[in-house]
Amino acid sequence: VYKGTVVHNQNDQNVVEYHLWTPEWTQLLQESKFSQEKWPLAFELLNNCGGPNREGYIAFQDHGDNVWYRNIRIKILE
């Protein structure tokens, strides 16, 4: 994440890019499984991710399956 732009790369390929805190971001959330009607608390959390300081944490997650991570690189963008 750099200045609200999120880029996901996998195997050196850009797989998705989106921009936080924009009307388009809010629309993507509203059309997702985390819509305001279905999950109001999740919608609010995701729509205001980073809070007023626009900062937060990096997390890795799985959905109950075995998962392995290797060669994870985090680059600070300035």
pTM of the predicted structure, to 2 decimals? 0.60
pLDDT at residue 75 above 90?
Answer: no
pLDDT given for residue 27 in this prediction:
94
In tens, the pLDDT along 8-50 reads 888 889 999 999 889 999 999 999 998 999 999 888 888 887 7
Q: How far apart are CA 25 and CA 38, in angstroms?
A: 17
Specify whether the CB–CB gap between 20 and 1 falls below 8 A: yes
Structure-block tokens of residue 29: 């959330």
Specify whether the CB–CB gap between 19 and 4 falls below 8 A: yes
Under the banding of pLDDT at 50, 70 and 90, the label for residue 59 is confident
Query: What is the phi/psi pair of residue 32, to 5°?
Result: -95, 180
Query: Is beta strand 13-19 parallel, antiparallel or unpaired with respect to 5-10?
Result: antiparallel
